[in-house]
Protein backbone atom coordinates (compact mmCIF):
# COMPACT_ATOMS: atom_id res chain seq x y z
CA UNK A 1 0.00 0.00 0.00
CA UNK A 2 2.84 2.42 0.89
CA UNK A 3 4.56 1.78 -2.45
CA UNK A 4 1.27 2.40 -4.29
CA UNK A 5 0.76 5.69 -2.43
CA UNK A 6 4.32 6.76 -3.24
CA UNK A 7 3.69 5.88 -6.89
CA UNK A 8 0.56 8.05 -6.91
CA UNK A 9 2.42 10.95 -5.28
CA UNK A 10 5.28 10.64 -7.76
CA UNK A 11 2.80 10.42 -10.62
CA UNK A 12 1.05 13.61 -9.50
CA UNK A 13 4.39 15.44 -9.20
CA UNK A 14 5.47 14.39 -12.69
CA UNK A 15 2.06 15.26 -14.17
CA UNK A 16 2.29 18.75 -12.65
CA UNK A 17 5.85 19.39 -13.90
CA UNK A 18 5.65 17.65 -17.26
CA UNK A 19 2.90 19.54 -19.17
CA UNK A 20 4.80 22.84 -19.24
CA UNK A 21 7.89 21.18 -20.73
CA UNK A 22 5.76 19.26 -23.21
CA UNK A 23 3.87 22.37 -24.32
CA UNK A 24 6.98 24.58 -24.50
CA UNK A 25 8.84 22.10 -26.67
CA UNK A 26 5.88 21.22 -28.90
CA UNK A 27 4.89 24.87 -29.41
CA UNK A 28 8.45 25.92 -30.23
CA UNK A 29 8.85 23.03 -32.68
CA UNK A 30 5.56 23.90 -34.38
CA UNK A 31 6.51 27.57 -34.62
CA UNK A 32 9.91 26.71 -36.11
CA UNK A 33 8.11 24.55 -38.68
CA UNK A 34 5.92 27.48 -39.71
CA UNK A 35 2.65 26.62 -37.94
CA UNK A 36 0.55 29.80 -37.34
CA UNK A 37 0.73 31.08 -33.72
CA UNK A 38 -3.08 31.10 -33.37
CA UNK A 39 -3.29 27.42 -34.29
CA UNK A 40 -0.47 26.60 -31.84
CA UNK A 41 -2.24 28.48 -29.06
CA UNK A 42 -5.60 26.84 -29.54
CA UNK A 43 -4.30 23.29 -29.96
CA UNK A 44 -0.91 22.61 -28.37
CA UNK A 45 -1.07 25.25 -25.63
CA UNK A 46 -4.81 24.81 -25.20
CA UNK A 47 -4.57 21.09 -24.56
CA UNK A 48 -1.55 21.40 -22.26
CA UNK A 49 -3.57 21.25 -19.05
CA UNK A 50 -5.54 18.27 -20.41
CA UNK A 51 -2.45 16.25 -21.34
CA UNK A 52 -2.42 14.40 -17.96
CA UNK A 53 -6.04 13.30 -18.34
CA UNK A 54 -5.48 12.21 -21.95
CA UNK A 55 -2.44 10.10 -21.12
CA UNK A 56 -3.90 8.61 -17.94
CA UNK A 57 -7.14 7.67 -19.72
CA UNK A 58 -5.38 6.16 -22.72
CA UNK A 59 -2.88 4.24 -20.60
CA UNK A 60 -5.58 2.92 -18.25
CA UNK A 61 -7.65 1.69 -21.20
CA UNK A 62 -4.61 0.08 -22.82
CA UNK A 63 -3.91 -1.80 -19.56
CA UNK A 64 -7.46 -3.14 -19.35
CA UNK A 65 -8.90 -0.56 -16.94
CA UNK A 66 -11.19 1.57 -19.18
CA UNK A 67 -13.49 2.41 -16.23
CA UNK A 68 -10.63 4.33 -14.64
CA UNK A 69 -10.31 6.40 -17.81
CA UNK A 70 -14.06 7.05 -17.96
CA UNK A 71 -14.08 8.03 -14.30
CA UNK A 72 -11.09 10.30 -14.86
CA UNK A 73 -12.84 12.15 -17.69
CA UNK A 74 -16.10 12.71 -15.81
CA UNK A 75 -14.51 13.23 -12.40
CA UNK A 76 -12.05 15.79 -13.80
CA UNK A 77 -14.92 17.83 -15.24
CA UNK A 78 -16.76 17.79 -11.93
CA UNK A 79 -13.54 18.70 -10.12
CA UNK A 80 -12.77 21.52 -12.55
CA UNK A 81 -16.16 23.16 -12.01
CA UNK A 82 -16.69 22.43 -8.32
CA UNK A 83 -13.18 22.55 -6.88
CA UNK A 84 -11.16 24.63 -9.36
CA UNK A 85 -13.72 27.33 -10.16
CA UNK A 86 -15.22 27.17 -6.67
CA UNK A 87 -11.87 27.84 -4.98
CA UNK A 88 -10.90 30.43 -7.60
CA UNK A 89 -14.15 32.39 -7.17
CA UNK A 90 -13.74 32.31 -3.38
CA UNK A 91 -10.31 33.90 -3.79
CA UNK A 92 -11.31 36.42 -6.46
CA UNK A 93 -14.82 36.84 -7.93
CA UNK A 94 -14.73 35.94 -11.62
CA UNK A 95 -15.94 38.62 -14.03
CA UNK A 96 -17.32 37.13 -17.23
CA UNK A 97 -17.29 39.46 -20.21
CA UNK A 98 -15.93 37.48 -23.13
CA UNK A 99 -18.33 37.09 -26.04
CA UNK A 100 -16.39 34.07 -27.24
CA UNK A 101 -16.47 32.46 -23.80
CA UNK A 102 -20.24 32.88 -23.69
CA UNK A 103 -20.40 30.86 -26.90
CA UNK A 104 -18.07 28.14 -25.54
CA UNK A 105 -20.17 27.39 -22.45
CA UNK A 106 -23.26 26.33 -24.45
CA UNK A 107 -20.90 24.37 -26.71
CA UNK A 108 -19.54 22.55 -23.65
CA UNK A 109 -23.07 21.65 -22.54
CA UNK A 110 -23.92 20.45 -26.05
CA UNK A 111 -20.79 18.26 -26.14
CA UNK A 112 -21.76 16.70 -22.82
CA UNK A 113 -25.28 15.97 -24.06
CA UNK A 114 -23.77 14.41 -27.19
CA UNK A 115 -21.58 12.20 -25.01
CA UNK A 116 -24.53 11.14 -22.88
CA UNK A 117 -26.55 10.13 -25.95
CA UNK A 118 -23.67 7.90 -27.06
CA UNK A 119 -23.34 6.28 -23.62
CA UNK A 120 -27.08 5.93 -22.94
CA UNK A 121 -27.20 2.30 -24.14
CA UNK A 122 -24.69 1.34 -21.42
CA UNK A 123 -21.80 0.70 -23.80
CA UNK A 124 -18.92 2.73 -25.20
CA UNK A 125 -18.08 1.18 -28.56
CA UNK A 126 -15.13 1.96 -30.83
CA UNK A 127 -17.34 3.83 -33.27
CA UNK A 128 -18.65 6.02 -30.45
CA UNK A 129 -15.11 6.70 -29.27
CA UNK A 130 -14.21 7.75 -32.81
CA UNK A 131 -17.31 9.98 -32.92
CA UNK A 132 -16.22 11.74 -29.72
CA UNK A 133 -12.70 12.29 -31.05
CA UNK A 134 -14.09 13.61 -34.34
CA UNK A 135 -16.24 15.95 -32.25
CA UNK A 136 -13.07 17.23 -30.57
CA UNK A 137 -11.49 17.86 -33.98
CA UNK A 138 -14.61 19.77 -35.06
CA UNK A 139 -14.54 21.89 -31.90
CA UNK A 140 -10.88 22.77 -32.46
CA UNK A 141 -11.64 23.75 -36.06
CA UNK A 142 -14.55 25.91 -34.88
CA UNK A 143 -12.38 27.60 -32.25
CA UNK A 144 -9.70 28.45 -34.81
CA UNK A 145 -12.33 29.84 -37.20
CA UNK A 146 -13.97 31.89 -34.43
CA UNK A 147 -10.66 33.22 -33.11
CA UNK A 148 -9.63 34.38 -36.58
CA UNK A 149 -12.74 36.55 -36.69
CA UNK A 150 -12.41 37.81 -33.10
CA UNK A 151 -11.17 41.28 -32.36
CA UNK A 152 -7.82 41.87 -30.72
CA UNK A 153 -9.61 42.89 -27.54
CA UNK A 154 -10.95 39.37 -27.13
CA UNK A 155 -9.58 37.78 -23.95
CA UNK A 156 -8.93 34.58 -25.89
CA UNK A 157 -6.37 36.40 -28.00
CA UNK A 158 -4.60 37.63 -24.87
CA UNK A 159 -4.64 34.13 -23.39
CA UNK A 160 -2.53 32.67 -26.18
CA UNK A 161 0.81 33.30 -24.50
CA UNK A 162 3.22 31.18 -26.51
CA UNK A 163 6.52 29.99 -25.05
CA UNK A 164 9.68 31.91 -25.88
CA UNK A 165 11.51 31.13 -29.12
CA UNK A 166 14.12 28.35 -28.91
CA UNK A 167 16.24 26.46 -31.38
CA UNK A 168 14.77 23.41 -33.07
CA UNK A 169 17.24 21.08 -31.32
CA UNK A 170 16.48 22.50 -27.89
CA UNK A 171 12.74 22.45 -28.60
CA UNK A 172 12.96 18.77 -29.59
CA UNK A 173 14.88 17.92 -26.40
CA UNK A 174 12.41 19.82 -24.19
CA UNK A 175 9.47 18.19 -25.97
CA UNK A 176 10.90 14.68 -25.55
CA UNK A 177 11.67 15.31 -21.88
CA UNK A 178 8.14 16.58 -21.29
CA UNK A 179 6.59 13.63 -23.11
CA UNK A 180 8.72 11.08 -21.21
CA UNK A 181 7.87 12.73 -17.89
CA UNK A 182 4.14 12.72 -18.74
CA UNK A 183 4.27 9.07 -19.73
CA UNK A 184 6.20 8.12 -16.60
CA UNK A 185 3.83 10.10 -14.38
CA UNK A 186 0.78 8.54 -16.03
CA UNK A 187 2.23 5.05 -15.69
CA UNK A 188 3.02 5.55 -11.99
CA UNK A 189 -0.38 7.09 -11.26
CA UNK A 190 -2.37 4.39 -13.05
CA UNK A 191 -0.37 1.57 -11.43
CA UNK A 192 -0.71 3.05 -7.95
CA UNK A 193 -4.42 3.84 -8.37
CA UNK A 194 -5.28 0.37 -9.66
CA UNK A 195 -3.24 -1.29 -6.90
CA UNK A 196 -5.00 0.70 -4.16
CA UNK A 197 -8.42 0.02 -5.74
CA UNK A 198 -7.73 -3.71 -5.67
CA UNK A 199 -6.44 -3.64 -2.08
CA UNK A 200 -9.38 -1.60 -0.79
CA UNK A 201 -11.95 -3.50 -2.83
CA UNK A 202 -13.28 -0.43 -4.63
CA UNK A 203 -13.86 -0.11 -8.35
CA UNK A 204 -11.53 1.48 -10.88
CA UNK A 205 -14.38 3.89 -11.63
CA UNK A 206 -14.42 5.27 -8.07
CA UNK A 207 -10.63 5.70 -8.04
CA UNK A 208 -10.84 7.50 -11.39
CA UNK A 209 -13.65 9.77 -10.17
CA UNK A 210 -11.84 10.76 -6.98
CA UNK A 211 -8.07 10.38 -6.48
CA UNK A 212 -7.07 10.37 -10.15
CA UNK A 213 -9.53 13.11 -11.17
CA UNK A 214 -8.43 15.48 -8.43
CA UNK A 215 -4.75 14.83 -9.10
CA UNK A 216 -4.95 15.38 -12.85
CA UNK A 217 -6.96 18.60 -12.27
CA UNK A 218 -4.18 20.20 -10.23
CA UNK A 219 -2.70 21.99 -13.30
CA UNK A 220 -6.10 23.60 -13.97
CA UNK A 221 -6.38 24.65 -10.33
CA UNK A 222 -2.95 26.28 -10.35
CA UNK A 223 -3.50 28.01 -13.71
CA UNK A 224 -6.97 29.30 -12.76
CA UNK A 225 -5.97 30.67 -9.35
CA UNK A 226 -2.94 32.47 -10.82
CA UNK A 227 -5.01 33.91 -13.69
CA UNK A 228 -7.76 35.11 -11.35
CA UNK A 229 -5.30 36.79 -8.97
CA UNK A 230 -3.84 38.64 -11.96
CA UNK A 231 -7.32 39.90 -12.84
CA UNK A 232 -7.59 37.67 -15.93
CA UNK A 233 -10.84 35.93 -15.04
CA UNK A 234 -11.68 35.03 -18.62
CA UNK A 235 -8.45 33.06 -18.84
CA UNK A 236 -9.31 31.23 -15.60
CA UNK A 237 -12.76 30.35 -16.93
CA UNK A 238 -11.37 29.60 -20.37
CA UNK A 239 -8.89 27.11 -18.91
CA UNK A 240 -11.71 25.16 -17.27
CA UNK A 241 -14.13 25.32 -20.21
CA UNK A 242 -11.42 24.31 -22.68
CA UNK A 243 -10.17 21.53 -20.42
CA UNK A 244 -13.69 20.16 -19.93
CA UNK A 245 -14.27 20.12 -23.68
CA UNK A 246 -11.07 18.11 -24.14
CA UNK A 247 -12.14 15.78 -21.34
CA UNK A 248 -15.66 14.99 -22.51
CA UNK A 249 -14.67 14.54 -26.16
CA UNK A 250 -11.03 13.44 -26.10
CA UNK A 251 -10.43 11.81 -22.72
CA UNK A 252 -13.81 10.06 -22.74
CA UNK A 253 -13.34 8.99 -26.35
CA UNK A 254 -10.01 7.23 -25.78
CA UNK A 255 -11.38 4.30 -23.71
CA UNK A 256 -13.95 3.65 -26.41
CA UNK A 257 -11.30 3.70 -29.11
CA UNK A 258 -8.76 1.56 -27.24
CA UNK A 259 -10.90 -0.75 -25.08
CA UNK A 260 -14.61 -0.62 -26.04
CA UNK A 261 -17.02 -2.23 -23.63
CA UNK A 262 -19.65 -1.76 -20.93
CA UNK A 263 -20.10 1.60 -19.21
CA UNK A 264 -20.58 1.23 -15.43
CA UNK A 265 -24.22 1.75 -14.45
CA UNK A 266 -23.29 4.43 -11.88
CA UNK A 267 -21.88 6.61 -14.64
CA UNK A 268 -25.30 7.00 -16.27
CA UNK A 269 -27.38 7.28 -13.08
CA UNK A 270 -25.05 9.32 -10.84
CA UNK A 271 -21.82 10.72 -12.25
CA UNK A 272 -22.78 11.94 -15.72
CA UNK A 273 -25.99 13.64 -14.48
CA UNK A 274 -23.96 15.41 -11.76
CA UNK A 275 -21.50 16.63 -14.39
CA UNK A 276 -24.35 17.88 -16.58
CA UNK A 277 -26.08 19.61 -13.65
CA UNK A 278 -22.91 21.39 -12.51
CA UNK A 279 -22.18 22.52 -16.07
CA UNK A 280 -25.71 23.90 -16.40
CA UNK A 281 -25.33 25.69 -13.04
CA UNK A 282 -22.05 27.23 -14.23
CA UNK A 283 -23.88 28.39 -17.35
CA UNK A 284 -26.53 30.07 -15.18
CA UNK A 285 -23.88 31.73 -12.97
CA UNK A 286 -21.83 32.98 -15.95
CA UNK A 287 -24.60 34.48 -18.06
CA UNK A 288 -26.25 37.86 -17.76
CA UNK A 289 -29.65 38.12 -19.44
CA UNK A 290 -29.02 41.85 -19.93
CA UNK A 291 -25.70 41.30 -21.67
CA UNK A 292 -22.39 42.84 -20.67
CA UNK A 293 -20.41 41.89 -17.60
CA UNK A 294 -21.45 39.15 -15.21
CA UNK A 295 -19.65 38.12 -12.02
CA UNK A 296 -19.39 34.66 -10.51
CA UNK A 297 -19.23 35.90 -6.94
CA UNK A 298 -17.88 34.30 -3.78
CA UNK A 299 -21.31 32.97 -2.77
CA UNK A 300 -21.69 31.20 -6.10
CA UNK A 301 -18.12 29.94 -5.81
CA UNK A 302 -18.99 28.58 -2.39
CA UNK A 303 -22.04 26.82 -3.86
CA UNK A 304 -19.88 25.14 -6.51
CA UNK A 305 -17.34 24.02 -3.92
CA UNK A 306 -20.07 22.75 -1.58
CA UNK A 307 -21.61 20.72 -4.40
CA UNK A 308 -18.22 19.19 -5.16
CA UNK A 309 -17.68 18.23 -1.51
CA UNK A 310 -21.20 16.80 -1.33
CA UNK A 311 -20.56 14.72 -4.44
CA UNK A 312 -17.34 13.30 -2.99
CA UNK A 313 -19.18 12.39 0.24
CA UNK A 314 -21.94 10.75 -1.83
CA UNK A 315 -19.39 8.54 -3.59
CA UNK A 316 -17.74 7.66 -0.27
CA UNK A 317 -21.03 6.66 1.35
CA UNK A 318 -22.36 4.79 -1.66
CA UNK A 319 -22.32 0.98 -1.30
- The residue count of the chain comes to 319
Among 50, 58, 66, smallest CA distance to 119 is for: 66
Please say whether the beta carbons of 135 and 126 come within 8 A: no
Domain 49-160+201-317 CATH superfamily: NCX, central ion-binding region (1.20.1420.30)
Going from N- to C-terminal start, the domains of the chain cover 49-160+201-317
Beta bridge partners of 262: 123
pTM, two decimal places: 0.83
Question: Residues 72-106: pLDDT tens digits?
Answer: 999 999 999 999 999 989 988 887 766 656 678 88
Please say whether the beta carbons of 185 and 10 come within 8 A: yes
Higher pLDDT, 38 or 265: 265
Question: Residues 194-223: pLDDT tens digits?
Answer: 888 878 888 888 988 998 888 888 777 877
- The values of phi and psi at residue 222, to 5°, are -65, -45
Per-residue H/E/C for 24-70? HHHHHHHHHCCCCHHHHHHHHHCCHHHHHHHHHHHHHHHCCCHHHHH
Question: Residues 102-137: pLDDT tens digits?
Answer: 678 888 999 999 999 999 999 999 999 999 999 998
Amino acid sequence: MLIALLAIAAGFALLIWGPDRFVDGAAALARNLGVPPLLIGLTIVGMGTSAPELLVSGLAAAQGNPALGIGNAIGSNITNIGLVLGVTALITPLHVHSRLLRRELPLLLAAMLFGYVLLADGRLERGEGIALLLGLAAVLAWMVFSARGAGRDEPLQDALELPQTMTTLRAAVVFIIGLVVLLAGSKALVWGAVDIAQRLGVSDLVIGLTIVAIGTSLPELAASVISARRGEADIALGNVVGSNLFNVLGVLGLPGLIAPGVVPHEVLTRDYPVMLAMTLLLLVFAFSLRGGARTINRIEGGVLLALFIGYEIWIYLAP
